[in-house]
Amino acid sequence: MMLLERGLIELLLNVMTREELNAFLRSPQNTATLVGGLIAICGALLGAFLLLRGLALTSDAISHTVLLGIVVAFLLMTETFGMEGDISSPWLILGAALAGVATVLLTEMLYRSGLVKQDAALGLAFPLLFAIAVILVSRFVDDAHLDEDAVLVGEIGLAWANTNSHCFEHCESVTISPDHPAAKHRRQCLNCRALGISPRDEDAEFRWICSNCGHYSPAQAYSAGLLEREPLLVFFPKSITVMLLMTALTLAFTLIFYKELKLATFDAGLAQALGFRPGRLNYALMILVSLVAVGAFDAVGSILVIAFFIIPPAAAYLLSDRLSLMLLIGPLIGAAGAFFGYDLARGRLFGVVPVSDGIAALNRLFGLDLIERWDSSISASMVLMIFVFFILAWILSPRYGLLSTLLRRANRRRRFADQVVLAHIHNHQHTALHSTECRMDTLHEHFRWRPGKMRRVMARLRALGYVRVVAGSAELTERGDRQVHAFRRNMLEAYNMPDLD
Amino acid sequence: MAAAEAPASADRRVWIIIGLIVVSSLLALPLSQQVFGLRLTYTVRVVALGGAVLGVISGVLGCFAVLRQESLLGDALSHAALPGVAIAFLLAGRDLSWLLIGAGIASWLGLRMVAAILHTTRIKQDAALGIVLVSWFAAGIALLAYIQSIPDASQAGLDHFIFGQAAAIVERDVSLVSGVGLAVLLAVALFWKEFKLVTFDAEFAGANGFRTGLINTILSTLIVITIVLGLQLAGVILMVGMLIAPGIAARQWTHKLEQMVVLAAVFGAFAGAAGAVISALDSDIPTGPMIIVVAFALVLLSITLAPGRGLLWSRLRQRANRSRFAARNTLLNLYRYALRHGAANSPVPDDFIRGVGDRSAELGLRQLRAKGQAMFSKTGSEAGWRLTDSGIQQARQIVHNEKLWAMYRLHAHRLDLPLLQEDRQAAIASVLPAAAIALLERKLREVEDNA
């Protein structure tokens, strides 16, 4: 991972100076947006396949189980192996992802036993695992990166602060041994606490220990004042590296197995018959989802992450009928949500409208007394912005949107009204009843319409040149006649009936 | 299996089991005092009572959620309640009834939104639930973060609604929950027939003039109210577990809705009270998770132990079936080999019978010997397995039964016999009238005489 980061930094140093890069990465906004955007890309790509297979809630499932994996792996690392707990350690990510997949398999077994329905198995097993994880966290884990708050919302706002340092020049790492000139020594009482002896007693036994011995990386050595020359350092946030890796994996997986994924998603039976292995592909998908969920846990916690899996693909699904397009739109929506979400958390909707104005307006309208400064959770705001984009897609989608559906329905209603009126006139024209059935001032009664509606329909039909008014009665023009016949022919064909005329 | 038993006795059996469970969980109260040295202080009693009341309500309503396969809807609805809590706090301050009303409205709006997405787009139910669940929850989290930035509001303890906190419950809360809960239970009793009908056969209900849309709405609203009542204790994330776990556990014991609802109420009361008490003992343990763990233990217990349906029972039944099958097959193998090599009681070599029967032969031989139908002699040319008289009689009976079944299959139509599912394991005399058996016997004799 360090090597990867180093290569990346060297690439970036070709286009910007070290100071610029450090300043860029040290900005909480840049790092948070970058991490959020990467999560959104991974989530939307994998989520699209989950959505199309009707497995959207599997991401919910996996994110819950992965939490237990993380907690158990974390406890194993710190308690059993005595390592330093680090949520972005690759071992922890791998272990937790495996735990996630294993638990998904376990629930499958639970409902295959036939005693519990699938939804009940999901609705029961995942709260349970989550519950155990929360009990473990609140009872046994004492770590700032893994508490109940981090479980809920993550700490994407602090992602910039958890970094690996890379040194490029004047790199001296320092090892301080007890005989090093800079070593500091301190007395420690060996038998004080146990026997109730105070350090001032004569019986107290002491030994000397070195309080600052150990290995110092260049960055640590410089900040401890052990170096005279400042090393040239780049601080790279760990979350970015982890999510970059996940994004690369996800992209590679979708590109390489695009054809197989597409086939297995839309026609699993055919895929099986053609000798692909849709089952294995499914497991690969689950493993990737688990990996991404673990990678994103540090940043957005274990519940909000499912928004990145479900909402952008759903919005893209409303906007497009093509899988390839869906895979393009989804990540864009997710990344845009991450971008604007940071602004929302800091009080600016879409980066321009201040939220405090809205709160002030509410205060004035309802006589409330709310604080106008809006400072909120970044990850939750990102989810909210993604949701806003979903709502926009829902309303505005050209084919499936609420607006276009309403327009289409209104259009259809209008065309239907036109056709029944034309058919009515056609039926009664040239009959004895024409003057009573088609009189302009009573025409609406035959349809039980309000007069206003009839007037609008007639105005339209006359403007189209289908109907003219002769002596207070409506009759068809030649164009109108042709229209009625065309419509009649279409209908007969549609119902497969012979034309008896 | 269950259908074969007399329904009335099965019914009574389940009621007895329910009674036993009630008595034993009531016994748990003094036992917990004796064994664990638990001191039931006033606070613990209040909390336990609250948990139990809540457990009863959510157990009853949860049955419907489980049977209608709407467990995940419950999950989404409980998450969706969070922003309502936050908004109600901003508008009305920390008054529990307002907070719960806010939660109810938000949750109900979530329900409508799921319906709207399903109705107007091609997005399927799972994704619609996921969208509402996570965006409503995010709105709640964002609002809570905003509330926490208000200086004097940080002590409000609204974050208790996320994981639940029993220690925060006072007597007034319990009486509020009990009052509303009683109303909910009354509503269930009032609409019992309607709820039962739309749960099991909504189309039939609609065809008979019930307004299924309205009934569904009432039922969903009751479920929302139940979820909202439980928020303070179980928290928004885990409330679904409290809702459905008692129902799932109860489902294992019975096939009747009445019994399932009563049993779920008992299970729910136990899980709620036990979980709340355990978490009240140690402020580090949030209540919601603890209740879920207890409830899941009940589910696990039910899945393994429930008579008739449970894993243990079906495993036992499987074993009994396997050994009966092995005994029967081995007996027939011995009988046929012996007939082909002389008389019915001529010896059969050990190698042969084990080779034919594979692993089941061992099982079968052991049983035959135990029943005295076959015995093993080692001596001389007579070495091998030999059927006893009772074994021979048994084998003849089985063969004869099978032949009668064969006759039945060939001639049932021509002889105008009642139509049955052919089951050669069953004694044909027990399923057909004596006259029909006599006809089949005559047919069989004709065939054997011709041969």
Q: What is the DSSP string of B139-190?
A: HHHHHHHHHHHSGGGGGG-TTHHHH--GGG--HHHHHHHHHHHHHHHHHHHH
* A119, A213: one domain: no
Both structure tokens of B32:
């917990």
Element (H, E) at B438: helix B434-450
Q: Give B264's DSSP letter.
A: H
Per-residue pLDDT, B37: 60
Interface check for B238 against chain A (CB to CB < 8 A): the answer is: yes
Express the helix, strand and coil content of chain A in percent, nearest 5 each: 65, 10, 25
Helices (H), ranges, A206-322: 218-223, 238-256, 258-266, 268-273, 278-300, 305-319
Q: pLDDT at residue A230 above 60?
A: yes
Say which of A303, A318, A371 has its CB closest to residue B121: A318
| Any domain includes A278 | yes
* A170, A197: one domain: yes
- Chain A residues in contact with B139 by the CB 8 A cut-off are 380, 384
Portion 81-120 of A in contact with B at CB < 8 A: 113, 115-117, 119-120
Please tell me the distance from the alpha carbon of residue A349 to that of residue A343, in angstroms, as a whole number.
6
Q: Nearest C-alpha of chain A: how many angstroms from B114?
A: 13
Q: What is the DSSP string of A313-324?
A: HHHHHHH-S-HH
- Chain A residues in contact with B310 by the CB 8 A cut-off are 115
Q: Report which residue type is found at B185.
A: L
CATH number of the domain at A76, please: 1.10.3470.10
**What mean pLDDT comes out for the span A301-317?**
91
Backbone angles phi, psi at A111, to 5 degrees: -85, -15
Tens of pLDDT, residues B103-143: 999 999 999 999 999 988 888 888 999 999 999 999 998 88
Residue A159 β-bridge partners = none
Whether residue A131 and residue B238 make contact (CB cut-off 8 A), yes or no, is: yes
* A132, A182: one domain: no
Q: Would you state the torsion angle of the CA atoms of residues B439, B443, B446, B451, taken in this order, to the nearest 10 degrees?
A: -160
pLDDT tier, B6 (very low <50, low <70, confident <90, very high otherwise): very low
Please tell me the distance from the alpha carbon of residue B419 to that of residue B431, in angstroms, as a whole number.
11
Query: Are B233 and B164 a contacting pair, CB within 8 Å?
Result: yes
Least confident of B2-6, B186-190, B218-222, B231-235: B2-6
Both structure tokens of A121:
């198995």
State how far the alpha carbon of B129 is from the alpha carbons of A58, A422, B76, B248, B403, in Å. Answer: 12, 46, 6, 21, 59
Q: pLDDT at residue A135 above 80?
A: yes
Per-residue pLDDT, B5: 44
Q: Which residue is listed with tokens 């990467």? A: A38
Interface check for A358 against chain B (CB to CB < 8 A): the answer is: no
Please tell me the distance from the alpha carbon of residue A310 to that of residue A152, in angstroms, as a whole number.
18
Q: What is the mean pLDDT of chain A?
A: 82
Interface check for A302 against chain B (CB to CB < 8 A): the answer is: no
- Overall number of domains in chain A: 3
Among the listed residues A138, A111, A96, A139, the one whose alpha carbon sits nearest the alpha carbon of residue A305: A96
* A54, A28: one domain: yes
Under the phi-then-psi rule, with left for phi > 0, alpha for psi from -120 to 50, and beta for the rest, what region is A471? left
- Three-state SS for B210? coil
| Any domain includes A227 | yes
Q: Looking at mean pLDDT, say which of A2-11, A283-292, B335-344 comes out highest.
A: A283-292
State how far the alpha carbon of B140 is from the alpha carbons of A133, A339, A397, B236, B450, in Å. Answer: 22, 20, 27, 11, 87
Query: Are A447 and A454 a contacting pair, CB within 8 Å?
Result: yes
State how far the alpha carbon of A359 is from the alpha carbons of A356, B87, B141, B156, in Å. Answer: 5, 13, 17, 21
**What mean pLDDT comes out for the span A393-419?**
89
| Any domain includes A323 | no
- Three-state SS for B122? coil
Strand residues in B201-274 grouped as ranges (E) = none
* A143, A264: one domain: yes
Whether residue B149 and residue A148 make contact (CB cut-off 8 A), yes or no, is: no
Helices (H), ranges, A27-117: 28-52, 56-75, 90-112
Q: Give A439's DSSP letter.
A: B
Q: Nearest C-alpha of chain B: how many angstroms from A400?
A: 7
* A60, A136: one domain: yes
Say which of B69, B127, B292 has its CB closest to residue A127: B292
Mutate to test the interface with B, among A52, A106, A116, A119 (most CBs of B within 10 A): A119
B33 Cβ contact partners less than 8 Å away, ≥ 6 residues apart: B39, B40
* A78, A6: one domain: yes
- Chain B residues in contact with A148 by the CB 8 A cut-off are 162-163, 286
Query: Are A211 and A184 a contacting pair, CB within 8 Å?
Result: yes
Whether residue B296 and residue A128 make contact (CB cut-off 8 A), yes or no, is: yes
Interface check for B399 against chain A (CB to CB < 8 A): the answer is: no
Q: Looking at mean pLDDT, say which of A56-70, A288-302, A331-345, B150-164 comes out highest.
A: A331-345
Q: Nearest C-alpha of chain A: how many angstroms from B311?
A: 9
Q: Report which residue type is found at A26.
A: R
Per-residue pLDDT, A308: 93
Please tell me the distance from the alpha carbon of residue B229 to that of residue B224, in angstroms, as a whole number.
9
Query: Are B401 and B427 a contacting pair, CB within 8 Å?
Result: yes
| Any domain includes A127 | yes
| Any domain includes A348 | no
Among the listed residues A126, A66, A55, A134, the one whose alpha carbon sits nearest the alpha carbon of residue B245: A126
pLDDT tier, B3 (very low <50, low <70, confident <90, very high otherwise): very low
Query: Are A16 and B88 a contacting pair, CB within 8 Å?
Result: no
Chain B residue whose CA is closest to A370: B90
Residue A230 domain boundaries: 166-235
Please tell me the distance from the alpha carbon of residue A84 to that of residue A162, in angstroms, as a whole number.
14
* A50, A143: one domain: yes
* A446, A423: one domain: yes
- Chain A residues in contact with B144 by the CB 8 A cut-off are 377
Whether residue B131 and residue A390 make contact (CB cut-off 8 A), yes or no, is: yes
Q: pLDDT at residue B280 above 80?
A: no
Whether residue A383 and residue B241 make contact (CB cut-off 8 A), yes or no, is: no
Tens of pLDDT, residues B250-278: 988 888 888 899 999 999 998 888 887 78
- Chain A residues in contact with B311 by the CB 8 A cut-off are 113, 115
Whether residue B293 and residue A318 make contact (CB cut-off 8 A), yes or no, is: no
Neighbour count for residue B210 (Cβ, 10 Å): 16
* A170, A133: one domain: no
- Three-state SS for A167? strand
| Any domain includes A374 | no
Interface check for A311 against chain B (CB to CB < 8 A): the answer is: yes
- Three-state SS for A474? strand
- Three-state SS for A85? coil
Query: Are A288 and A47 a contacting pair, CB within 8 Å?
Result: no
| Any domain includes A70 | yes
pTM comes to 0.80
Per-residue pLDDT, B8: 62
Among the listed residues B292, B71, B302, the one whose alpha carbon sits nearest the alpha carbon of residue A121: B71
- Three-state SS for B93? coil
Query: Are A77 and A92 a contacting pair, CB within 8 Å?
Result: yes
Query: Are A1 and A261 a contacting pair, CB within 8 Å?
Result: no
Residue where one domain finishes, among candidates A278, A311, A344: A311
**What mean pLDDT comes out for the span B272-286?**
77
- Chain B residues in contact with A128 by the CB 8 A cut-off are 241, 292-293, 296
Tens of pLDDT, residues B289-311: 888 888 888 888 888 887 777 77
Q: pLDDT at residue B156 above 70?
A: no
- Chain B residues in contact with A139 by the CB 8 A cut-off are 282, 284-285
Residue where one domain finishes, among candidates A235, A257, A274: A235
Say which of A59, A120, A402 has its CB closest to residue B244: A120
Q: What angle do CA B301, B303, B308 make, to 5 degrees?
A: 115
Query: What count of residues does chain B have?
Result: 451
- Chain B residues in contact with A394 by the CB 8 A cut-off are 117, 120-121
- Three-state SS for A251? helix
Backbone angles phi, psi at B6, to 5 degrees: -70, 125
Cβ neighbourhood burial of A15 (10 Å; 0-12, 13-18, 19+): exposed
Please tell me the distance from the alpha carbon of residue A40 to that of residue A331, in angstroms, as a whole number.
6
**What mean pLDDT comes out for the span A482-500?**
81
| Any domain includes A364 | no
Please tell me the distance from the alpha carbon of residue B438 to that of residue B440, in angstroms, as a whole number.
5
Query: Are B379 and B344 a contacting pair, CB within 8 Å?
Result: no
Residue where one domain finishes, among candidates A279, A311, A343: A311
* A185, A171: one domain: yes
pLDDT tier, B179 (very low <50, low <70, confident <90, very high otherwise): very high
Q: Report which residue type is found at B89.
A: F
Q: pLDDT at residue A145 above 70?
A: no
Portion 49-108 of B in contact with A at CB < 8 A: 66, 69-72, 74-75, 90-91
Q: What angle do CA B105, B106, B110 make, to 5 degrees?
A: 115
Both structure tokens of B327:
């005994």
Query: Are A116 and B303 a contacting pair, CB within 8 Å?
Result: yes
Please tell me the distance from the alpha carbon of residue A395 to that of residue A398, in angstroms, as a whole number.
9
Say which of B144, B284, B299 has its CB closest to residue A139: B284
Q: What is the DSSP string of B340-402?
A: HTSSTTS-B-HHHHHHHHTHHHHHHHHHHHHHTSEEEE-SGGG-EEEE-HHHHHHHHHHHHHH
Whether residue A131 and residue B289 make contact (CB cut-off 8 A), yes or no, is: yes
Please tell me the distance from the alpha carbon of residue B343 to that of residue B336, in angstroms, as a whole number.
10
* A172, A108: one domain: no
Please tell me the distance from the alpha carbon of residue A166 to that of residue A219, in angstroms, as a whole number.
8
Query: Are B25 and B150 a contacting pair, CB within 8 Å?
Result: no
pLDDT tier, B7 (very low <50, low <70, confident <90, very high otherwise): low
Interface check for A375 against chain B (CB to CB < 8 A): the answer is: yes
Tens of pLDDT, residues A240-298: 888 898 999 999 999 999 988 888 888 888 888 888 877 788 888 888 888 898 888 88
Both structure tokens of B1:
């299996």
